[in-house]
Amino acid sequence: MIGAGRRGLSLTRGALIVAVAWSIVLVVGAFTVPLYRGVQAGGTLAPDGSTGSFGQVVTATLVDVNGPRALIVVGIPLVVSLVVTALLWRSPAPTAARVVAWILTAAVGLVAMAGMLTIGIYLVPTVGALLLACLTQVNGAASAMPRRAG
């Protein structure tokens, strides 16, 4: 039975590491990954007086388009992941810590659902990893407890 508790603990910690790592990727990606693409139209005037037009493909990152406030949206999962990691890293985590972890995970899940048509889909891996951490923490803590004989 002790082995099952250790497996649950390592699964919990692995899920927490994935949640934090993906959240860091989201923040870095907000600065570096072009999420928006468009064509910028322009015109030219030829020496003979005729005009022509051209289009130039332009791309922009989340921060380019939305400014620093975009960091709030992508920073929330990172902050929540770090807090949940601090709460659940110990095994077994206190009951109050598990309750707070579940509430924070549900809050990030709601943010992901609310933003599903924009960047919410990118929050799903963080939400999934946090859910797995919460689930395995509860199960891992219960399976690590000694059972009564009889």
In a domain, 40, yes or no: no
In a domain, 68, yes or no: yes
Cβ contacts of 37-40, under 8 Å, gap ≥ 24: none
Q: How many domains does the chain have?
A: 1
Distance of alpha carbon 94 from alpha carbon 115, whole angstroms: 32
What are the E-state strand segments in 1-150? 34-45, 51-61
- Element at 70 (helix H, strand E): helix 70-88
pLDDT in tens, 62-116: 899 889 988 988 999 999 999 999 999 987 888 999 999 999 999 999 999 998 8
Distance of alpha carbon 40 from alpha carbon 13, whole angstroms: 47
In a domain, 26, yes or no: yes
Q: What is the pLDDT of residue 46?
A: 62
Domain extent at residue 17: 2-33+63-144
- Checking if the pLDDT of 43 tops 90, the result is no
In a domain, 56, yes or no: no
What mean pLDDT value characterizes the chain? 83
In a domain, 150, yes or no: no
Output Rg (C-alpha) for the chain, integer angstroms: 23
> Of 94 and 129, which is predicted with more confidence?
129
In a domain, 43, yes or no: no
In a domain, 39, yes or no: no
- Element at 115 (helix H, strand E): none
